[in-house]
Amino acid sequence: MGKPTGFIEFLREIPADRPPLERVKDWNEFHLHLDDAKLKNQGARCMDCGIPFCHTGLLISGMASGCPVNNLIPEWNDLIYRGLWKEALDRLHKTNNFPEFTGRVCPAPCEGSCTLGVIEPPVTIKNIECSIIDKGWAEGWVTPNAPATRTGKTVAVIGSGPAGLAAAAQLNQAGHTVTVYERADRPGGLLMYGIPNMKLDKEKVVLRRVKQLEAEGVKFVCNAEVGKTHPAEQLLKEYDAIVIATGATKPRDLPIDGRQAKGIYFAMEFLTANTKQVLNKGGDYISAKGKDVVIIGGGDTGTDCVGTSLRHGCNSVVQLEILPKPPLERAKDNPWPEWPKTLKVDYGQEEAAAKYGADPRTYLTTATKFESDDAGNVKAVHTVQVEWTKNDKGQFIPKNVPGSEKVYPAQLVLLAMGFLGPEQPLLESLNVERDPRSNIKAEHGKFTTSIPKVFAAGDCRRGQSLVVWAINEGRGAARECDRFLMGSTNLP
């Protein structure tokens, strides 16, 4: 460690984003970087704590504590302090195939478990990570690295989201011939169509990495839905192994009165169509322009719907959240190094507040009815406040509060309430065993399914989760797939 007193001398500093009222006028990324001198000071704040929880990747109270891909955070923090950027990039790539993705969209559980965070604001790990990889691309340090020899083994990866890309990258480096099947028109899965362009640029960031993988020998086949356009049985015959990484894309519905009204969409329908029109510079999409928008769901996807609606030029936006408003500081039952369940104002809420003067989120509120006009178009959402009480089994359940009913005008409603698991047709065609939650049954660490030579990784195995967990699983499935193919493995 180069600066033993750095955590005392320097305050936490993060770069300013582009001003909210400026950035809602376009689809460009809104994050900026600190200059190298300030990043050096931020790296110096890493305090040589002795037991760095930041890269443990443990699950505590059901949530990630520390980095799930076990990034060597103290090492590259120190290297940034010393000005050794290329060496820092090498350390970063040892554990993370795609730090430009996690550096932009990961919620940074590493910072939540930073030891300095016990007494001071934590080290700016996420920003340093993103700065390292962005400099690596800018300086030309990130170049294709094709394997020197090939094993003669072939692997099909189904799905090109973060888990599929990580599995493909690792298996290709092991010398196997890898083909990735993607049902959409572009590779990337969730990275391409589940996250808006202003949060993760598709051409400059996602497709840049895809092109590098292609240059290294990975083949991508798009518009290919295995189980429909490409029979799963055929892949079983053609390939030596298969990795399923299709994600958890079955959305949670809200079957209340009036659900059949026009103008009610799942969030992914809205976000996918929008990204396609941004990339294609035109085309059909679900527009929020001039409409009162109600978003049901308070997570990252709901936030992305807020930001997208604002860029369309919506008339108003409300985000309904059934859970209570988080506290500003950790509660007593949420100690370090658990993930801090505190109030966070993300980019979409910041933009809405700048435009309309208030955070768009309404807590402890649920929709009870969708009201439509004479033409069958949604025109309002009826809501009620809830309180969380325990039932006779000791489980917390929401209970409606009498007299708290409210009606919100809405010509566009977006359902962003999470996902129920993977879509089933492919899994049914393979007859792969599933767990009680409809996910593919495969043990973490082994990733083997009930079908010989078929592995599973990411959200289709663990359920809806973080991009960084998907990368963890893709790497792990690749390791076990390589072991199956070769009898042993050198993959981490």
pLDDT recorded at residue 360: 98
- How far from chain centre, in Å, is Cα 31? 17
**Start-end of CATH 1.10.1060.10 domains in the chain:** 6-138
Q: Which amino acid is at 187?
A: P
Low-confidence ranges of the chain (pLDDT < 50): none
Q: Is 451 helix (H, G, I), strand (E, B) or coil?
A: coil
Q: Is 74 helix (H, G, I), strand (E, B) or coil?
A: helix
DSSP 128-160: HHHHHHHHHHHTT-------SS--S-EEEEE--
* Measured distance CA(226)–CA(210) in Å, rounded: 20
pLDDT in tens, 136-178: 999 999 999 999 999 999 999 999 999 999 999 999 999 999 9
Omega before 327 cis (within 30°)? no
- How far from chain centre, in Å, is Cα 215? 25
- DSSP 8-state symbol, 357: S
Helices (H), 118-230: 125-138, 162-173, 207-215
pLDDT recorded at residue 48: 83
253-417 domain in CATH 3.30.70.1150? no
Q: Is the separation of the CB atoms in 153 and 240 below 8 Å?
A: yes
This prediction's pTM:
0.96
Which class is domain 6-138?
A: mainly alpha
**Start-end of CATH 3.50.50.60 domains in the chain:** 154-249+420-486, 253-417
pLDDT recorded at residue 1: 64
CA distances from residue 184 to 71, 246, 249, 284 in whole angstroms, order as listed: 31, 12, 13, 16
pLDDT recorded at residue 289: 98
pLDDT in tens, 12-26: 999 999 999 999 999
What topology is assigned to 154-249+420-486 in CATH?
FAD/NAD(P)-binding domain (3.50.50)
Q: Is 257 helix (H, G, I), strand (E, B) or coil?
A: strand
pLDDT recorded at residue 99: 98
* Measured distance CA(367)–CA(404) in Å, rounded: 12
pLDDT recorded at residue 304: 98
